[in-house]
Amino acid sequence: MGSKGKFSCWDRVAACCCCCCKASQQAEQERQRSKDITIIQNQAVAPKLDSQVTQPSARPLPSPPGFVEGTRYVALFDYTARTADDLTFNTGDVLEVLDSSTGEWWIARAVTGISANTKGYIPANYVAPVESIDAEPWYFPDTKRQDAEKLLLAEGNAEGAFLVRNSESLKGELSLSVLHQGRVKHYKLQKQDGNYFVSKNKSFPTLKELVEYYSRQPDGLCVCLGEPCRKMEAPQTYGLSYNTVDQWEIDRKSLKLQKRLGAGQFGEVFEGVWNDTTPVAVKTLKAGTMDAAEFLGEAQLMKKLRHPKLIQLYAVCTLEEPIYIITELMKNGSLLEYLKKDKGATLRITHQIEMAAQVASGMAYLEQQNYIHRDLAARNVLVGENNVCKVADFGLARVFMKENENVYEAKEGSKFPVKWTAPEAIHDNKFSIKSDVWSFGILLYEIMTFGQMPYPNMSNMQAVTWISKGNRMSCPANCPKPLHNIMLDCWKEKEKERPTFETLQWQLEEYFEMDSSSYADSARY
Ligand code: ATP
């Protein structure tokens, strides 16, 4: 087909990329998220299942009141049972949901697959109603253009791999992203009179029919649609299992500590396994570092904070010393070690900015929740597969500081993260989300210098004095000027003049969009 017959790919920038729209959309998404969280928190405690119900020969479960039996769901990811009460299933298995009133863990009966005809708990975010758009393997609703490109260019996708996602800039609209000759092309999917189309002269009542049609012939697309894009990894479940959502003080005997991952000033961190099934990270706190009741109070807040860019707190063991904090395990450890080890060997500027944007995203969520981190630094960000970054240890500093006020004062300089802390927090103990923004500027410096100590060649005291005279760190080598400007904004003397994390997030995300040279590997139209 000649070029006339081809559709032009949709240019997102031309459509809308103004900062105000972006900021308000993100704010709306966050509001939506926080609404969801409120609902989750208010849900009733999941009923305890008889542990035998997952066994094929087990007696049937009594039906919980108030459910409509028979709603069929399809598994979007593989899941291996973590307790005797939940079901193992594989992507594509059909599950009949028997009770969805039980929170984030539903009671279901497997219709097909390895657990067929057994009942048990399933993580609700691993399934979608059969025949719904959410059940389609090519539907990646909350995927940004930039992430769609990353996903499609990842190993395992062949020519024609594709996904359909919600448009970032045009609310309610969809985009089709397709892999062609090592590049990703984006098409706008439009809807008129209830029909979907890429080109007005060929429309379809459902997206499924549209996808099926273009899977048979390109008809103007750059390539025939092939296999759906591979999903990177299953999402985090809400808590370790249905029964740790509310009862999250767990028996320490259910944990096996296997490998020491590292140590901080308050204790050691181990890679471990919970219930012989689930990999976790276990932070063991040195005896006497904090009061269990004080910690539990803070942890009640911490466990309600859920965001893809925050480390999830799964459970605690506080009944005896040492206190254990059980969290999700991150394969590549702390960002600081990750940066230092790499020193730019594989990480490029695009990765560095992307990692900073992820941290800003997690922090924007904390900002929206009126929560303060107090110890934001590269050592407190953890890295998973594919440079996924998550903010860790939020709120812990408050408990430590309260309990160790004397330690902090007496040993200022060794324990207190002076070089990361905003002047008003150092001088007046005034911690706020704006002092976190200051720390974020330092973290950005760490990212751009591959983990160099801030204010090199200065002692803590020298750095504090130097800053108080209005000095700020200069642009690191090989760091683009706009990024240094962001750092300088974070280090404004007046807290009010520092940006919000919401602004920092979109500035860093938009950085990719503006700098087309950084996208040389993927097509832009
Ligand atoms: P401090 O607590 O003194 O600020 P820190 O944050 O480096 O220092 P920890 O939080 O105790 O100390 O972590 C020590 C090390 O353990 C980290 O540097 C990291 O390598 C590893 N680690 C911590 N949590 C996890 C986790 N969830 N997954 C994988 N590795 C982890």
The yes-or-no verdict on residue 444 having pLDDT over 90 is yes
Show which residues are catalytic. 375
pLDDT score recorded for residue 56: 28
- Pocket of ligand 1 contains residue 151 by CB under 6 Å: no
**Bigger pLDDT: 17 vs 293:** 293
**Bigger pLDDT: 34 vs 472:** 472
pLDDT score recorded for residue 136: 93
334 Cα to the center of ligand 1, angstroms: 6
- Pocket of ligand 1 contains residue 269 by CB under 6 Å: yes
pLDDT score recorded for residue 394: 84
Average pLDDT, stretch 433-455? 97
pLDDT score recorded for residue 168: 75
pLDDT score recorded for residue 207: 94
Tens of pLDDT, residue by residue over 176-193, are 999 999 999 999 998 888
Domains observed in the chain: 13-24+333-510 (1.10.510.10), 72-132 (2.30.30.40), 138-230 (3.30.505.10), 239-327 (3.30.200.20)
The yes-or-no verdict on residue 51 having pLDDT over 60 is no
DSSP single-letter state for residue 310:
B
Percent of the chain scored above 90 by pLDDT? 59
* Minimal-distance CA residue to ligand 1 atom 12: 264
User: Mean pLDDT over all residues of the chain?
Assistant: 81
Atom of ligand 1 nearest to the CA of 330: 28
* Minimal-distance CA residue to ligand 1 atom 20: 333
- Pocket of ligand 1 contains residue 376 by CB under 6 Å: no
**Bigger pLDDT: 239 vs 50:** 239
The yes-or-no verdict on residue 105 having pLDDT over 70 is yes
467 Cα to the center of ligand 1, angstroms: 29
The yes-or-no verdict on residue 52 having pLDDT over 80 is no
The yes-or-no verdict on residue 9 having pLDDT over 90 is no
Q: Is the separation of the CB atoms in 455 and 463 below 8 Å?
A: yes
150 Cα to the center of ligand 1, angstroms: 28
Average pLDDT, stretch 209-230? 95
CA 478 to chain centre: 28
Whole-angstrom Cα Rg for the chain: 25
Percentage helix, strand, coil, to 5, in the chain? 35, 20, 45
Beta-strand relationship, 105-110 and 94-99: antiparallel
Claim: this prediction has a pTM higher than 0.85: no
Query: Ligand 1 pocket test: which of 236, 255, 257, 261 has the largest number of ligand atoms within 8 Å of its C-beta?
Result: 261
Strand partners, 382: 334, 390
pLDDT score recorded for residue 400: 60
The yes-or-no verdict on residue 312 having pLDDT over 60 is yes
259 Cα to the center of ligand 1, angstroms: 13
Query: Ligand 1 pocket test: which of 265, 285, 329, 334 has the largest number of ligand atoms within 8 Å of its C-beta?
Result: 334
The yes-or-no verdict on residue 88 having pLDDT over 80 is yes
Residue 121 CA to residue 389 CA, distance in Å, equals 29
Closest CA to 240 of 128, 329, 318, 371: 329
pLDDT score recorded for residue 512: 66
Residue 204 CA to residue 191 CA, distance in Å, equals 9
pLDDT score recorded for residue 148: 92
Atom of ligand 1 nearest to the CA of 268: 11
Average pLDDT, stretch 245-250? 83
Q: How confident is the model at residue 140 (pLDDT cuts 50, 70, 90)?
A: very high
Atom of ligand 1 nearest to the CA of 264: 12
The yes-or-no verdict on residue 10 having pLDDT over 70 is no
Atom of ligand 1 nearest to the CA of 263: 14
Tens of pLDDT, residue by residue over 379-412, are 999 999 889 999 998 877 666 654 444 333 333 4
263 Cα to the center of ligand 1, angstroms: 6
pLDDT score recorded for residue 395: 75
